Every structure is written in C-alpha cells, then in structure tokens.
Structure 1
C-alpha cells in the first residue's frame, strides 16, 4: 500500500506539472525580442522588406499601417485579414475596401520560412511591418511585442463592427470602447491618417448628400470644400485617390490634428473627432503652442507608439492557441491606400 501511495503521489505530481505547463503555454505572453533566440534576424528581415517596398511604392507605409489596424480590430491581431482561401473571407468586407500590403507580408514570410521554418507568425510580421512603416514615414520608433500566433478562421461577418467612415462620434466611441479603447486611443489611432490617401469611394455622402438634401458636411472649411468637390465630383470616378493630409501626406506628424480642428479633415470620421467634448479636448491637447518648450509633434508620436502597442495586444493568440502558418494565405489583388 505504501508503494502504491508513493507512486500515486509521483504520478499526480507529474500530472500537475504537465497541467501547469499547458496552462502556461495557453496563456503565453507577448514580449519584446520573442524571436531573439529562435530567429534572431526576424525583425531585420521584415524591416528590409518594408524599406524596399516603400522605395518602390511611396504609399506602402500607409498601406502596412492600415493593414495592422484592420487585422487587429477583427478577431484580434491574428493575421486573419490575410486569409483569402475561403468563400466569404474577412478581408472582402466593405470596411476593408482598398487594403494593400499583402504581397509585402508574403515576401517577408517567404524569407523567414527559408531561414526559420515555422517560427515567425504572419500576425507578428504584420505588427512589425506597421512599426517599420511608421518609422520610415518619419514617426518615432517603438518596441513591438511579439509572440502572436495566427488564427485559423476568416469570416466576412466578423468585420461588421469595423469603424465606418460615416459613423457618428457616438458610434465610433462605442466601437472602440467595445475593444477596450478609450476616447484618447480613438483620437490617436485615427491620427494614423497623417499619412496615406483615401478614395473618392468614401466621400459621396460627406461632399454631396450629408443630410439627404444634396448638401455637404458643414464641418468642412468653406475654403476646402471646393477643392474636395473638384477632386471627387458627384458621379465622378470613385477610384481617384486623394491625400488624407494635404500638407504632409508622406510625413508622420501631428498635422492631422491641426486639420481636424480647422475643418481640413478629409474623411468624415476624422472630422467627427471634433464633435465630442472629450475627443475634441484630446485633439486640442496636441495643438498647445503657448508653452514654448512643448514639442507637440513629439508628444503625439510618443502617444501613438503607446497606442500601437496597446492595439497589438488586442485579443492575441499565444502559447498553444492558433498556429504558425507557413504562408500568409492570400490571393493577389489590387493594393490601394
């Protein structure tokens, strides 16, 4: 009986250890330098791909930044936005119209698979590429936590709650709140529109039928409205691209905040940030000029980096959850941003 008890205790102890290890794996944590031992040059490979792509296509930084946001906002940062081998893929949702950068993610993945097979997730590549895109556009460097695993599910219906360009400020706040973001996060992440372009596809209501009476959004500066309407005329080509920030489209800075305050925001959702007391106060906090030693641009860039780290933690899969895909699973399409 004593022999049985001794072995029983050892067996139970072994089971508890295995159980603890499984729980630890299931609840794995993101951390900076996750690939430092198993694939030490993972980040440099992604950085090189992003740099080369940006030299060929000036809009690439904005594309990759937007891709990361759209991936994370639907099912978390799990690379599901890349999947396109199912009938109703998530990436085909209306809210994802015009996404680009897929080929660049695949190129980085291919190189990483050659050097470190089945180690680096597509989700982490997307997150790293977004950071490198910000830096290339002149924004501040921020450390990217890695260790995400890739999701296996892609469903168009999951993207129904993506922020929409014509959402009211109340709806925008609620959509971000549902994901654990504050009003400040909403403003800062919207600040990504300091670089890149949009399409006239997203402008008709704001420019030509805001209240259903063939009118324009009254928040548009009267000096700016004719310019926008000339670029996106009623019944014109919806594929025409226009800068989200006329003054510094390719530079990551705080100019977008000035545009929002002064009525020069291009898309409606950016303009709506000035409709609410809380979000308006956040916008104004980056425009303080009375304090001579306050570098508002640097302040915005720092806060943007912090917001991106928070975004990158959204509903991630780590440990034994998800998988490490060998390819990003996408089909070639038209890239726009």
Structure 2
C-alpha cells in the first residue's frame, strides 16, 4: 500500500460508512460472512491477487464486470450466467467482457472452504474491491449479503448501460436512474485509468474527421492504431500516458489534457462546468479521489440487490442451481 493510501484509510472507511447508510442497501452488512464463512473475504482476496498477479489486465476486468452486473439487473451476478433453456439470451452474449473464467476460479476457491454459503454476486463485489487494492494501492470495506438472481436477458442491456458516446447530461441521467450522483459518475469514471478497449469504440471520434475535443497529436496516434478500414477488434489500453494497469487519478489528468478515448470521458470537461470542477478536484487530490471512488463503489454495489430469501446462492456462477 502506498503512503498516501495508508494515510487515507480512515477517511475511506468513514466515507464508506456514510455511503452505505445513505443508500437502499442498508440490508447489506459489513463482515456479512463473519459467522457463516469467516474465511470468505480472505479466500476471494487471495484468489484475486493470484489472478491479477498472473495477468495485470484482470484488475480492470473485474471492476468492469461488477459495473455491468450492477447496472443491468442490480448486483445479482446476472452478468455471469451462461446460456440455458431458462436464459436463452443471457447478458454475456451482448458485450465481449473478460473475466468470467476468473470469477469461476475465485468461486471454486471460496466453495473449497465454505460450500454453498457465499453468493457469486458478493464474490464479484469483493473481487472488484480487491482489484482496487491490487491495482490502485488502496483498500476499503465492502458490505455483503447479496444473493444471486436466476435470470439474465441481453435485452435488458441497452436501456441500462451508459454508452461511451453519451454526453454528460445523459450520463448523469443514466447514473441518477440507479441512485448514483454526478459526483459518483465522475469518481467511477476514474476506472478508465486502467483497462482496455477496442478500436470500434474509438473510431467514431477519429473519422471522418478528428473530434475537435481530442488532442490532435493524441488523435493522430490513435488513427495509426485504428485505421479507417482496419479491424475494429484491435485492443487499445485506455491509458496510454502512464501504467495502463494502474488504477489512479491519472485519468483526470488525461481528461484535462484531452487524451482520453471516449466521448463519455471528454464530455465531463467540455459540456458541464460542474463536472469539469469535479474532474479538476480529482486530478489535484489523489487521496480525495480514492475516498470518492471507494464510496461510489460501495453505493453502486447496493443497486437493486437481492437479500434475505430472495434469489439463491449459486453452486457455480455460470448456472442457476436448477441448471435449466
């Protein structure tokens, strides 16, 4: 852990406690498995650390999976379900996300110590939290108690997931529909400091002419990576300025320099004075951004959760217990 992260740990925990109490996820609890599976969070952390150590790009993949899961049907692990008779068109068919096998690996590690106790939804939340520790050098508490859903439908995605082409007011509305604020939007956008994307998501800003809100030299370099009629599946690092696998406030410096991939990134400074100030604050204050990011992650983790006797605790993350 960095010195800055160590110094702000108390601040992070305080921000998180306030965030959880102010959301509809009050039924979630810190140390939820302290009695039923005391080793749960340690098992998730150890497995996640091994996965990210072997492949540093996986930290961002876990955070992105968590985001997509929570925004579509709430944080119920619906994003993890494979195709089946009861789920003929699951969410995972719509968007080429990475990390499904890795989540299964973590689930297997948890099942080895506490079979049938820990939900896939909580495992994904903990893995996303631990990815911040591994890739960003700061940690925070994540409440548990989510249960797994039994349905997944790719048709739920278009109306739920914010698009990379969205302008700021549409982004604020999209996040607001999930109970998240403009500050949460800007804080969570910091996840674009690491991870990968494809040329197909970037070329709308490159052709037929370079987006005027993009730094010219940065855009011309991207045009070389993503030629007009080139393969849209070419992989790019979200952050080409510093370590592409480090979660940090570098993202906000990139936004200010107009060196970011998506319209949804650049619009934070070009279309709203309020979000532009937030971007500047996060660029200037890495410790403050850590606290805001952590609080927003916890808040997002409470979206439309299943608790109590709702849903189920899946035996494997890719299928419901009925197997249908």
TM-score, length of structure 1 as denominator length: 0.83
- Which residue matches 2:50? 52
Change (3 A) 1:28 1:219: closer
Q: Deviations over 1:266-306 (max 9, x none)?
A: 22211111121221121111234xxxxxxx11111111111
- Which residue matches 1:259? 254
* Alignment map for 1:179-258 (pairs within 5 Å): 179-208=178-207, 214-246=208-240, 247-258=242-253
**C-alpha contact (below 8 Å) 1:64/1:133 kept by paired residues:** yes
Residue 286 (str. 1) matches residue 287 (str. 2): no
User: Cα distance, 1:233 vs. partner?
Assistant: 1.1
User: Cα distance, 1:99 vs. partner?
Assistant: 1.0
Larger radius of gyration: 1
Task: List gaps (5 residues or longer) in structure 1.
Answer: 1-26, 209-213, 289-295, 331-337
- Which residue matches 2:98? 100
Q: Within 1, Cα distance between the matches of 2:176 and 2:124?
A: 23
Q: Within 2, Cα distance between the matches of 1:187 and 1:118?
A: 37
Q: Deviations over 1:251-275 (max 9, x none)?
A: 2211100111111112221111112
* Alignment map for 1:22-37 (pairs within 5 Å): 29-37=27-35
User: Cα distance, 1:111 vs. partner?
Assistant: 2.4
Residue 317 (str. 1) matches residue 316 (str. 2): no
User: Cα distance, 1:112 vs. partner?
Assistant: 2.0
Residue 65 (str. 1) matches residue 63 (str. 2): yes
**C-alpha contact (below 8 Å) 1:149/1:322 kept by paired residues:** yes
* Alignment map for 1:150-161 (pairs within 5 Å): 150-161=148-159
Q: What secondary structure is seen at the aligned counterpart in 1 of 2:217?
A: coil
- Which residue matches 1:22? none
Task: List gaps (5 residues or longer) in structure 2.
Answer: 1-24, 320-324
User: Cα distance, 1:28 vs. partner?
Assistant: 7.9
User: Cα distance, 1:114 vs. partner?
Assistant: 2.7
**C-alpha contact (below 8 Å) 1:248/1:255 kept by paired residues:** no
Q: Within 1, Cα distance between the matches of 2:121 and 2:307?
A: 11
**C-alpha contact (below 8 Å) 1:204/1:234 kept by paired residues:** yes
- Which residue matches 1:21? none
User: Cα distance, 1:98 vs. partner?
Assistant: 2.8
TM-score, length of structure 2 as denominator length: 0.86
Residue 75 (str. 1) matches residue 76 (str. 2): no
Q: Within 2, Cα distance between the matches of 1:144 and 1:267?
A: 29
User: Cα distance, 1:115 vs. partner?
Assistant: 2.1
- Which residue matches 2:19? none
Number of residue pairs the alignment of both structures matches:
289
